[in-house]
Structure formats: structure tokens, C-alpha cells
Amino acid sequence: MTQTTILANARLVLADEVISGSLTFADGVITSVDQGTNVPTGAIDCDGDYVVPGLVELHTDNLERHLSPRPGVNWPHNAAIAAHDAELASTGITTVFDAVRLGFIEYSGTRNVMTPYARSMVSEILTAREHGLLKISHHIHLRAEICSNSLADELEEFGPEDRIGIISLMDHTPGQRQFADISQYEKYMRGKHGLSQQEFDEHVAERKQLRERVVEKHEAAAVNAAAAFGAVLASHDDTTHDHVERSAEHGIKLAEFPTTIGAAHACHAHGIAIMMGAPNLVRGGSHSGNVAAHTLAEHDLLDIVSSDYVPSALLYSALKLSELWDDMPRAVQTVTSAPAKAVNLDDRGTIANGLRADLVRFHVLDDVPLIRGVWSNGVQVG
């Protein structure tokens, strides 16, 4: 039996305007959008709250936080997936590309060695999805660490049937990209892993030697895999014009967190969409000392926002951009229609007839969004 839901007396954030009105959805699809503040019998009175499309998240570290809630603690995967899914739903995220690492080994000494886990994790996510155990829509984002020993072998474990939506090329070699400043890298590594100066120096030398051996082979493997899987190819932490030129040569469509304004300008010149982190916007700057997201926004160099490591920051960041741009629809697009478009999802991201009923209702108190309802494919999940 078809169940019809009406959200009435709301401020609906549409593609290019905000209206006072109502929307109706049934069987997971929006069926009408109407102006006016009347509340029909049986409708949900939103009392003037905002209603926006469900948020689309392309890059998040949140799953890994649930997999390893403390250093050295490995949580049961199915429990971690379920907790991750529920947390995202509670923050208004209704579509997520779960970031799973391939070949990422932060420290290959006698401790903190990460063993490959991507193949099993992706299988578990897909199984949970197939059995209807997840509240929101899950897709796969493979984060391919170029400077590693196992990347090429791990990529061979996947195929088109795995629904890989994004493959991002990452290079965390000391002296490269995000860690161009070795002193910042030293602070990060020694603080996280408790390395002595000698251990750190040996680690840096080992990583640089490894990169020299594998960079060409691993970049080619990741680019070829994206083509074979039909996945969008993304770069990570572009810092220089040369990085962006190489990205363009690979056919990259999405730049995750460029670290300089020069790299951002180069990305836009090549038609590469730029994604920055919501925590960067909320905090007013990068925790790594890289370019501030609001600086790119001020220069019209920001297309998409990702929650990165704080799921609740995604909607909050849209409010920050709305204030900066004085344009709520444009700000909301950075967390809804723009990321959906970047990964070729044309059935969501906008409030319009015929699109998925992925919706978020929220109230604003002291510039902070307070979520009052979340619907994923027409089902209330938060």
C-alpha cells in the first residue's frame, strides 16, 4: 500500500531559491512541490523549518573511526558498519561513498603495520546493502595509496560488480603533497606513533625509496582500474600546478582537498571540481596549515564540501557558506547536487518532482543546524 507523506509549512531550499511551501512524496519519490504555508490534514507541520535535499558525502574517514575506535583496537566490522550508517543518517547524510583504503601503510617498522582489509570490508558493506540492513544509500570509494607495497595486488581483487564509484589517487610520501613540509609530517608521525628520531628518519628514507620504485606502476594501475570499473577518478592533496597537470592527463574529474590556492586555480582551469573539508570551513582554517576552505570559497574556487572526519560538520558547513556567499541555495548545492553530479547520480541532490525523497528538516539556533527529521528514499531514518 502506498504511503504518502507531506512536509508542510517549510522553507524549502530549491535549486535556485528558497520558498515557503510543502512537498509530497510517496514510494521514495517526490511527487509535488507547492508554495504556501497551509498545513493539510495529516501533513507534518515543519513550523517554518528548513527542508533541504539529503546530503551527499563523497569522502569520509568516519567508517575507519568505527573500525578502530582506539589505537590497536579492531572492532567487529558489521557492528562498525551499522554504527557508521546510523551516525551519518542522524547528521542528514543520505548518500555516502564509504572510503576504504588500499595499500595504505603509515609506518612499516615493527609496530603499527596495517594489513590489507579493503576486499573484505567492501564485501561486507555490499552484503549489508543487499540485505536492506542500512538506513542510507552506500557506495564505494577506494582510496589508492600510491606509495605502498600492496596497491596493485589489492586492486586486482575488485571488479565492475563491486559498484566502485570513486577511486582517488593518494600519495602520502614525506615531502609530497599534504606532507610537503617534513616538519609537519614529523610532528604528525612522531606524535601518533611515538617514534624516536632515528625511527622517524629511517621511516622517511624507506618511504621515499619505495615511492621511487612503485609510483609509475601504481598510478597506472589505479587509473586503469577506474576505467575498468566505471569509477570517477579523483586526485588527493594537489599542491602544485604540475600535480594538477598530471591529474588532467589521467582524466581526473574531482580534486580532493587541494592544499594551495594555485593548485585550486589550476583545477578550475582544467574543469576539475574542487572539494574541501567541512571541518576546515567550520574551524576557519586547515588543521594541517594548508589553504583555508573559506579562502577558496571567497575566490569562487569551491564546488563541493565533504564532512571528512566530522559527519555533523557537513550541514553546518553549508550554513557557513550561506553566510559567506549570502546565498542559501548555492551553499546547499555544495553538499547535495554538486557532489551528486560529480559522481553521476542524477536521481538525487535537488528537491524536484520525480527525484528521490532524500530530505533533511532542520532548525537553526545560534547559527547551528538542529536536525528534526531525515528521510532516505522516503523512509524516515532520523
d(CA 48, CA 32): 18
Integer-rounded Cα radius of gyration of the chain: 21
Asked whether the beta carbons of 311 and 88 are under 8 A apart, the reply is yes
In this structure, whether the domain defined by 54-349 belongs to CATH 3.20.20.140 is answered with: yes
Please tell me the predicted confidence (pLDDT) of residue 209: 74
pLDDT (tens digit, 0 to 9) for every residue of the chain, 382 residues total?
578 999 999 999 999 999 999 999 999 999 999 999 999 999 999 999 999 999 999 999 999 899 988 877 889 999 999 999 999 999 999 999 999 999 865 554 544 455 778 999 999 999 999 999 999 999 999 999 888 888 999 999 999 999 899 999 988 666 566 666 666 666 666 666 667 787 777 777 777 777 777 788 889 999 999 999 999 999 988 989 999 999 999 999 999 999 999 999 999 999 999 999 999 999 998 876 789 999 999 999 999 999 999 999 999 999 999 999 999 999 999 999 999 999 999 999 999 999 999 999 999 999 999 999 999 999 999 9
Task: Please name which of 345, 279, 275 lies closest in space to residue 307, comparing C-alpha atoms.
Answer: 279
Please tell me the predicted confidence (pLDDT) of residue 111: 47
The long-range contacts involving 190-196, CB below 8 angstroms and separated by at least 24 positions, are 192/106, 193/106, 193/107, 193/111, 193/112, 195/107, 195/109
What cell numbers appear for 151 in the block? 596497491
Indicate the domain borders of the chain.
54-349
